Amino acid sequence: MQNHKTLWQIFAAPILIGVLSSIGLIAALVGDGWWDGISWLTLALPVLLYFFFVLRRRRVNS
């Protein structure tokens, strides 16, 4: 049985992703070109992570 996690352990990754998302949301407002690229990468991260986690477990367990 795992030990109960602390709040910090639970929210460390979500906070990191949240900060990156905010950077992405603002970056494309600030400028074009590179700024747009930063925005695409940081906002694609949660999408990629979602598919990574859902598909990974399915493969491991099947």
Partner 1 sequence: MLLLCITGLPLIFHHEIDDLLHAEVKPAEVAPGTPMADLDKLLANAMAKSPGQVPHFLIWDRDDPNAMFVSVGPTITANPVNNRLVRMDAHTGDYLDSPDVTGRFTYIMLKLHTDMFAGLPGKLFLGLMGILFCVAIISGIVVYAPSMRKLDFGSYRSHRPRIVRWLDVHNLAGILLVMWTVVVGFTGVINTWADLVLKMWQFGQLAEMTAQYKDREVPTKLTSLNSAVEVAAHAVPGMTPSFVAFPGTIFTSKSHYAVFLRGETPVTSRLLKPALIDAETGKLTDSRDMPWYVSTLFISQPLHFGDYGGMPLKILWAILDVLTIIVLGTGVYLWLRRRKTGVSTVRAIAQTSAVEAPLASS
Contact set with partner 1 (CB under 8 A):
1-2, 4-5, 7, 10-14, 17-18, 21-22, 25, 28-32, 35-36, 39-40, 43-44, 46-47, 49-50, 52-54, 56-58, 61-62
The CB-of-57 to partner 1 minimum distance in angstroms stands at 4
Instruction: Please report, to the nearest 10 degrees, the dihedral formed by the alpha carbons of residues 4, 10, 55, 19 taken in order.
Output: -170
The CB-of-44 to partner 1 minimum distance in angstroms stands at 6
